[in-house]
Structure 1
Amino acid sequence: MPGISYDDSGSLASYFGVTTLALLLLPATWYTLRPAPRDKLHSLCDCSECVANNKRKRQLRSAANSGRLAKRLLLVAIGWAVFAYLAHGLYLAGPGAGNTVYNPFEILGIADSATEKEIKKHYKKLSLQFHPDKIKLGENETMADAEAKFVDLTKAYKSLTDEGIRENLVKYGNPDGPQQREDKIAIPKWVVEGQSSAWVLLAYGLVLGLGIPFVVGRWWFRQRALTRDGILNGTAEAFFHQVHEDSDVVNLVTVLATAHEFRPVLEGKRGGSKKQRKERQARIEELEKTIDEKREELLVEESPTIRSDSRASVNTAVARRARALLWAHLLRIELEPELQEEQLAVLRILPSLLNGLTNIALAHNWLKTSLACYQLQSALVQAVPVGTSPLAELPGISLKDAQELSITKDAEGRRWLERYIKADVPGHDEANKIAKKTVKLEVVSAEFKVTGEKTVTPGSIVNLVTKLRFVYPNTVPATNGTAAVRGDSVEVVEASVEVKEGELDEKKELKGYAHAPHWPADRKAQYFVLLGDSKLDKVIVQPMRVADIPLPNADGTPSEPKEYSLQFQAPPQANLYSFVQYFSSDTFVGADVARPIMLRVEEATEVESDDDDISEPEEDSLAGQMALMRGGKVKPSGVHGGGDGDESEYETDTSSDEEGPRRGRAINEDTDSDSD
């Protein structure tokens, strides 16, 4: 039976440690020292504000990556130090007992190619030298050592000259034949025996009884603390109670400020002396006064139709501080460095909060509130309050200047961008250039379709097929799927748009980061397409995300539109329904599109069948006679000339669609050739 024992020398544990560390450290070192992956996407805007913002974002990413890199390098360095220590110990220890292959040639000190005669001659010489009766012992050598040495020499000699012993060596690797196998555990004996055994058991107990349950429990409760949208349950509950059917954008900002995610960011600096806390509170109060003045100047007010019980409120100092920082971002108010850091941390948390807020509104099917959530997203990205002029998202134009330009240059309404380009405002060269390069969404066509059917029937699965593309402001809206370019737009585009060779296919679709100079992260523009009933203020079909809309061609002409399908179930009753198709941008202000669309649901047409005619019995049959007695309908008898006779006796000519089907000719009628 094989035996099991602990490794007394500790070499097996070292081998195990070296192997495990190598498997872990090699990929960890490569992952830590590898060059940062290059972002395949690039900024689609080259204005000065976007260039400066991209530089700030790179600096922030570099600072964050440096901290993470330092921690990883420290862990990797410690791992390699342990690896070197174990490897050095193995090198000094040499091969352990039982780990070497029995080599009789090495024991005798002769070459592997020696003949049997040479082996015998060499052994005779060694026996005279190391025989216990003739050997002269050294200072630290005993007779037992001499006898063991001579036994090893004799065994090696016999394993090369004796046939039976040589067979054992070849078959079992040992001249003594098969040996009892002894498996060793790669744990040194001193670890489990002696005084250290209690400490080892204590370590096992801490790891298995406390460490693993703590890690698993922490992961489990952290997962349970988040909703499917990635926000805290407390935040979702606060949003649920404060979002209402008539909530406007102003109140949605307050609702956002109540998120629990802001507490770790803004509560961390609540400490300090009483004087410092008062100073912090005074700065927030002063900021709130500035915000109120700015909102009054820009006419950013709460909706007058909102109910008093629908107004959101802040009940904590953290929520009040977060609301002030959000409004400072929207109104582009310059802050001191400490508040700038807090504002940056708040903005980085917003994406998941905005997504959760929008999903709560969509869960109630509130149309206006859902659209307001999308408007708030684009407003925060561009730092342009909802209700102000979208001209402020162009570089070099402040919120106040945008309001004045929208009035003086009549740059308002759905065609605000075209009117601004036509005005060619002096002193805003960069804004004029970016405006000409700005693309807008064009809805080429939209229609309802049912697979395999010509009409929409009650309860059928309907596909709202929409064709979309981006066009430049000077492009004439599409008519029947085509679009033209205004007279000077080609020259404008050729002068303002540069497409390098080989990049045309890559820029065919919106693959890059959008113009967002005030947002602290790269932003990919996308639209949300939904179907709503504006009269009932209800979302009829939940939104679909669209992010790969084709860009115009290099010469400024519109590219081929791309088709998108929004699937839903038709209403259960036949009628003519009036809906509105909304295209809401989560990145650009003033880029939303709304198109009314009619859905006609018709009852399924009944197909006439010959089943009734087939089911009627013939007059001459017993069933026909009984049907006549009951007053039912019967088929006239073919024998008495009342019926059409056997259908197999007729042929139907359907070769001409214009003449239609003609009565078949009976088999007893003359053919045309006979009559002629």
Structure 2
Amino acid sequence: MAPGISYDDSGLLASYFGVTCLAFILVPASISTFRSAPKDPHKSLCNCNECRANDKRKAALRSATHKRKLLRRILPLILGWALFAYLSYGLYLAPPMETSVYDPFDILGIGSSASEKEIKKHYKRLSLQFHPDKVKLGPNETYEQVETKFVDITKAYKSLTDEVTVENLRKYGNPDGPQQREDKIAIPKWVVEGKSSIWVLAAYGVVLGFGIPFVVGRWWFRQRKLTRDGILNATAEIFFHQLRDDTDFLSLIALLASAVEFQAILAPPAKLSKKDRKERQARIETLEQELDTQRADLLIDESPTMKKESRVIVTTAAARRARALIWAHLLRYDLPKDLASEQLEVLRAAPPLLTALANIALGHNWLKTSLACQKLQPAIVQAIPVGGSPLAQLPGITLEKGLELEITTGAEGRKWLEKWVSINDDEYPEANAVARTFPRLEVTDAQFRVTGEKVVTPSSIVQLEFKARWVYPKDPKEVSNGSARADSVEVVEKEVTKEKKEEEKKNYPPTGYAHAPHWPANRSPGFSALMGDSKLDKVIVQPMRVADVPFDEPREYSLQFQAPPQPNLYSFVLYLSSDTFVGSDIARPVMLKVEPAPAESDDDDDISEPEEDSLAGQMAMMRGEKVKASAVHDESEYETDTSSDEDGPRRGRAINEDTDSDSD
């Protein structure tokens, strides 16, 4: 070992080091484990009975998650704090470490204000008293101790009287001059010396040779299994090979259920007997039959335009089970407790899988399939199959009742929410209350722009700028009644002011959570905006997800793309798809006119030619260069008759003006 460095003989430094490291680890870990969850600043946008019941379910799930986290950490924390207490108690019992500063006055036993004469007198008395030749040894005293004490007294005396010793004490804090620094390593000496050294080397070998490579390798291989969307590579391969440009809703559900992630979630227990496995599979078959019957009642069937080879068929027991659980969620089928817990885990794993499906469709630029994948997200959130009535989102309205009300009330199409609000059916008071505060996406403006240009030229960078906001449905009857009473400007102003105040009263924070009573997590509403060509079934501009949509003033958003290379009038569609609400999608046609680039102007040469009346023009004429005629004398554009006439001089006229008027 290098000189000046040694191991800890007493073991105190190692204890101090261990206590410090344990404190840095245990204190944050204990706080994060035992503290209550931070209060969510966002609130639910809906207070209906179904949402309140779902909030209780979500709170119970969060509590269960916290308990599982506590159970995993409680034993390591107890062991860690026990070790911390043991080391702290050892430090408490240990003698204090010597860290005294060299003080010659203290060694001589004299005050620091003593004069040199008093110091010499005191030293003379001590030298006679503690000289080794004159001291009688005590029962527990050795000659070396007496000699050491006399040497210390002599050094202390010299450090106060001798100039060289005084200078050493002032510079180095020691009368003997600079001393070799001694550093101690916070490892007990017994650990590295003697019989324990072989065990220390073995521990180093295990940690460095096996432990660290195992942890790093495990993390690396786990990351290699995942794609950028956070799904397994095997799942991405299944999605890529089976997704088609004409895949319908039923095949999308089957493809989603084929994800490899569900195999770990829905795998049967290892100790399950063969008989129990058959019963487990029989329950799923019975569930599938009941779901098929309910799906037929809702007229949900495969798309007739989908090719036969595009149909997705589940091939594993886990995929079949996952498909049944997803359909049970979409059809709002009540499941037993064990199946409901499996369904919950399936729904929790679904969001990244849905994102991956949409990204694969967008990678092929399939417009129809991309929109179908985007519609699948709110369908699962609201537990409404694609094609179902959006009225089923409202509390108290089932899927079957939603289809019936859609026919009887006419609440369908883009304005289904306004139509339902205008009906105000007394049979569903809570649904009416929720509908009046149910947000609907509105696009107020959409146009193409090129920065710094007035027209769109071929291959230019174009911005599709549109303004969007969330709005509340308005009762057409209320609007018409207000218009009938508005027979003066004052009445109109009063109605507008009153309407604004009412809107301000019922506006809630736009950063809250949406009405989603069937989804097992909080859901913030947002939408995706993309531009496509419906005739070619192609995505022109990749989607942009927007989550900060305001409720009051429209906010401007933009999609950037390159204009077509040929001048023409192009027809596109701006699609705005909600990721939370069913029936809130917007398809707005937009026309892009690409005009030829303007021809190069030839006025640059004229600009460089000076006028003949200017100094530069005179010099150019002397050199024989071309100059521009003076604007003062250039009257070729007008002809003025200056001949004397009885009626006075005639007015000037343009050269292209009709001269027949002179004959009148």
Which range, TM-score by smaller chain?
Answer: 0.7 to 0.9
Q: What CA distance in whole angstroms lies between the structure 2 residues aligned with 1:347 and 1:462?
A: 39
CA contact (8 A) 2:382 2:393 kept: yes
List gaps (5 residues or longer) in structure 1: 477-483, 552-558, 616-637, 654-659, 666-676
- Matched with 2:644 is none
- Give yes or no for the alignment of 1:581 onto 2:562: no
TM-score by structure 2 length?
0.85
- Matched with 1:619 is none
CA contact (8 A) 1:436 1:496 kept: no
CA contact (8 A) 1:433 1:496 kept: no
Q: What CA distance in whole angstroms lies between the structure 2 residues aligned with 1:108 and 1:511?
A: 77
Residues 650/415 of structure 1: CA separation in 2 closer, same or farther (3 Å cut): closer
SS at match of 1:294: helix
Q: What CA distance in whole angstroms lies between the structure 2 residues aligned with 1:184 and 1:445?
A: 74
Which amino acid in 1 is paired with 2:567?
A: A
Residues 448/644 of structure 1: CA separation in 2 closer, same or farther (3 Å cut): same
Which amino acid in 1 is paired with 2:341?
A: E
Q: What are the within-5 Å matches in structure 2 for residues 50-89 of structure 1?
A: 50-72=51-73, 74-89=75-90
Deviates more, 1:164-173 or 1:580-589: 164-173
Which amino acid in 2 is paired with 1:45?
A: C
Which amino acid in 2 is paired with 1:647?
A: K
- Matched with 1:647 is 628
- Matched with 1:6 is 7
Shift of 1:377: 0.4
SS at match of 1:466: strand
Q: What CA distance in whole angstroms lies between the structure 2 residues aligned with 1:413 and 1:16?
A: 71
Residues 492-525 of structure 1: per-residue CA shift (max 9 Å, x gap): 989997849xxx7x83xx2111110000111111
Residues 218-260 of structure 1: per-residue CA shift (max 9 Å, x gap): 1211221111111110010000111111001111010000111
- Matched with 2:450 is 450
Residues 661/541 of structure 1: CA separation in 2 closer, same or farther (3 Å cut): farther
Which amino acid in 2 is paired with 1:592?
A: D
Q: What are the within-5 Å matches in structure 2 for residues 33-48 of structure 1?
A: 36-48=37-49
Q: What CA distance in whole angstroms lies between the structure 2 residues aligned with 1:135 and 1:458?
A: 111
Q: What CA distance in whole angstroms lies between the structure 2 residues aligned with 1:42 and 1:222?
A: 36
Residues 246/340 of structure 1: CA separation in 2 closer, same or farther (3 Å cut): same
CA contact (8 A) 1:104 1:159 kept: yes
Q: What are the within-5 Å matches in structure 2 for residues 248-647 of structure 1?
A: 248-267=248-267, 269=269, 271-474=271-474, 487=481, 499=505, 507=509, 510-551=510-551, 559-610=552-603, 646-647=627-628
Deviates more, 1:30-39 or 1:50-59: 30-39
Shift of 1:338: 0.7
SS at match of 2:513: coil
Residues 2/278 of structure 1: CA separation in 2 closer, same or farther (3 Å cut): same
CA contact (8 A) 2:4 2:182 kept: yes
Shift of 1:191: 1.9
- Matched with 1:656 is none
Q: What CA distance in whole angstroms lies between the structure 2 residues aligned with 1:253 and 1:181?
A: 74
Residues 441-499 of structure 1: per-residue CA shift (max 9 Å, x gap): 121111111112121111011111111122222278xxxxxxx9554798998999784
Q: What CA distance in whole angstroms lies between the structure 1 residues aligned with 2:116 and 2:73?
A: 62
Q: What CA distance in whole angstroms lies between the structure 1 residues aligned with 2:173 and 2:626?
A: 102
TM-score by structure 1 length?
0.83
Q: What CA distance in whole angstroms lies between the structure 2 residues aligned with 1:110 and 1:79?
A: 50
Q: What CA distance in whole angstroms lies between the structure 2 residues aligned with 1:275 and 1:497?
A: 62
- Matched with 1:176 is 176
- Matched with 1:628 is none
Which amino acid in 1 is paired with 2:413?
A: G
Shift of 1:412: 1.9
Which amino acid in 2 is paired with 1:37?
A: P
Shift of 1:20: 3.4
Q: What CA distance in whole angstroms lies between the structure 2 residues aligned with 1:160 and 1:26?
A: 50
Q: What CA distance in whole angstroms lies between the structure 2 residues aligned with 1:652 and 1:373?
A: 74
Shift of 1:613: 8.9
Which amino acid in 2 is paired with 1:311?
A: R
List gaps (5 residues or longer) in structure 2: 484-494, 609-620, 641-664
Residues 222/166 of structure 1: CA separation in 2 closer, same or farther (3 Å cut): same
SS at match of 1:647: coil
Q: What CA distance in whole angstroms lies between the structure 1 residues aligned with 2:542 and 2:226?
A: 23
- Matched with 1:222 is 222
- Matched with 2:611 is none
Q: What CA distance in whole angstroms lies between the structure 2 residues aligned with 1:211 and 1:100?
A: 43
Which amino acid in 2 is paired with 1:416?
A: W
Q: What CA distance in whole angstroms lies between the structure 2 residues aligned with 1:117 and 1:81?
A: 60
CA contact (8 A) 1:383 1:518 kept: yes
Q: What are the within-5 Å matches in structure 2 for residues 134-145 of structure 1?
A: 134-145=134-145
Deviates more, 1:87-96 or 1:234-243: 87-96
Q: What CA distance in whole angstroms lies between the structure 1 residues aligned with 2:639 and 2:451?
A: 37
Q: What CA distance in whole angstroms lies between the structure 2 residues aligned with 1:297 and 1:421?
A: 27
Residues 339/486 of structure 1: CA separation in 2 closer, same or farther (3 Å cut): farther
Shift of 1:25: 4.3
